[in-house]
Amino acid sequence: MEDGQKSTQQLCQELHTARQQLVRLQSLTRLNQLISSSLHLDEMLREIARATTTLLEAPVTSFWLAHEAPRPSSSTPPRTSTLALTGP
């Protein structure tokens, strides 16, 4: 093999890396469009979880939301919700 030529294995690895980058960019683009165009919190949070799962290649993504609402007494904890998504 000449110095300027790449092996088939190297080209396949570069193609695989490029495909992974494309999936990540598509996920970020979709998320950006949703955030820019939607006021539906549930839909937005689901998409954020889905994008996080894809981008981090994680089997599960979850996060907590704290709902700050007026509380009758300081001993009452704030309401919380959990959103979890499994798989990409």
pLDDT tens column, 22-40? 988 888 888 788 777 767 7
DSSP secondary structure letter of residue 87: -
Write out the DSSP string of 37-79: H---HHHHHHHHHHHHHHHHT-SEEEEEEEE----SSTTSPPE
Mean pLDDT (the chain) is 76
Q: Note the pTM of the prediction, 2 decimals.
A: 0.49
| Rg over CA atoms, the chain | 21
Residue pair 82/63 in contact by the 8 Å Cβ criterion: yes
pLDDT tens column, 53-71? 888 888 888 777 776 666 5
**pLDDT given for residue 17 in this prediction:** 94
